[in-house]
Chains A and B, each alone.
Chain A
Amino acid sequence: MSTELPVQPIQAGSPSVSMIRSLGLVSLICGFSVAIAYQWTKPYVDENQRITTERAVRAVLPTAMQQKAFVLGASGIAPAAPDSPAESAVFVGYDGAGRIVGIAARGAARGYADLVQVMYAYQPACGCINAVKVVKMNETPGLGDKVIKDPDFLKNFEALDARPNAEGAALANPIVTVKHGTKRDAWQIDAISGATVTSKAIGRGLDQSAERLVPLIHRHIAALEAAGR
């Protein structure tokens, strides 16, 4: 003997129809408001992002008179678009005569609380990183955030060695963060004691980004220079 209950067909005016109707109405209103808000704010959000990036580039390349963004690939360079991947974009700073004064790029690695994002300036002439600015981080106040102001830590980035190796395929020496007071080589970063995790995140972010971009920068340096003229 079957115990199945007969299925009631849905009829207009029944509670099921009114539930579907009201959920549909609510979804319609919500869909419209989200779509309108997105369309309306998009140009402002893009502009804010552009200004923030430009400001960070200016902070690491203060002598640049103009800056241009490019995407570096194995086959060549292309002007960066707003939706280009952040990890392969570089910002080249030129002086008044169109000579390169430095190349800024972004690096990011996980710190103690969240992703630590930095902008750094690379000098192709000396093969070194000579400025680093933290763009975004959410580290513990009083501990992790020392990386922004600590003068001893910032000294690491006066000429941090980031030369490419002989084959031009990777860095000659990977950038590493070492325990406070044990820095011996030019490619090492002396960590802040009490902010080791954040110091290491910055080191990792720089290493990963430089490992990929430095060989490409040296390969396409002539094209980047020509783009400034």
Chain B
Amino acid sequence: MSPLIQEEPLTLDTFLRGIWKENPVFVTLLGTCPTLAVTNSATNAISMGLATLFVLLCSNVLVSLLRKSIPKQVRIASYIVLIASFVTVVDYAIQAISLEVYNALGAFIQLIVVNCIILGRAEAYASKQRVINTVVNSIGTGIGFTVALLCLGVVREVLGAGTLFGVPLFGERFQPWVLMVLPAGGFFVLAGWLLLIEFFKQRRERRALEQQGATVHGR
């Protein structure tokens, strides 16, 4: 471990960063494969988000615990083995909890192994920080991912199937907008959310600039 790397103090930002400022889906655009593929219903989105949160938390805690004993030459190999093991654990756990959810998520549970959010967090954060910081940061990032998937899942399920968590919302006469639950719908809804978030971000920045200008020049 290089002595140059600073361990950061534990703050509220350690937790909130993954939810808002560095949201894996809406800001850093990582893990788009499961984001687009399994958000065709709110239940699938939550299940995928929680499965990823579990793998992220467990593997990163171990990466952080072992950070001083894993030589840098074999670190990627070690991280991938750790991540793959926890994905296998989650795979069994989901099969034990609900076969319907397991069948709906299909191959995307196994594909959590190559989700770049997890390896990214392990490499950029857990391998350099204390366990407590890693726990807090991983939970934040996992919640950020789950919330983002849920945002997509809710919109796609309501528009594409007329239901929310499987409960019908509009009655018999509703004609579902099937495109929304197809892969193309994932792209449209993600683009819609990115547009909305960017709009609010730019508006806030513009207001901050205006306020700064007013303070400097006076009214």
Contacts and interface: CB of A to CB of B under 8 A. Distances in A.
B131 interface: no
B195 interface: no
Interface string A20-53: 0011011101110110011011001100110010
Chain A interface mostly helix, strand, loop or mixed? helix
B69 A142 contact: no
Interface stretch (A57-65, A78-86, A133-141, A219-227): A133-141
A34 B88 contact: yes
Interface centre among B69, B82, B92 (most CB of A within 10 A): B92
Nearest to B73: A19
Contacts of A26: 66, 70, 78, 81-82
A32 to B, nearest CB: 9
A142 B69 CA distance: 53
Given A41-B95, A48-B99, A19 B86 contact: no
Contact of A27 (B70, B81, B99, B178): B81
B167 interface: no
Interface in B59-83: 62, 66, 69-71, 73-74, 77-78, 81-82
A3 to B, nearest CB: 26
Nearest to A141: B181
Interface in B148-165: 160-161
Given A15-B71, A15-B73, A37-B89, A142 B176 contact: yes
B96 interface: yes
Contact of B178 (A25, A48, A142): A142
B40 interface: yes
Nearest to A48: B99
Interface in A100-116: 114
Given A15-B71, A41-B93, A141-B181, A30 B81 contact: yes
Nearest to B63: A26
Given A22-B66, A48-B96, A141-B181, A30 B82 contact: yes
A30 B92 contact: no
Contacts of A41: 92-93, 95-96
Given A19-B73, A44-B96, A141-B178, 11 more contacts: A23-B77, A23-B81, A26-B70, A26-B82, A27-B81, A29-B85, A30-B85, A41-B95, A44-B97, A140-B182, A142-B182
Interface of B: 40, 62, 66, 69-71, 73-74, 77-78, 81-82, 84-86, 88-89, 92-93, 95-99, 103, 106, 160-161, 176, 178, 181-182
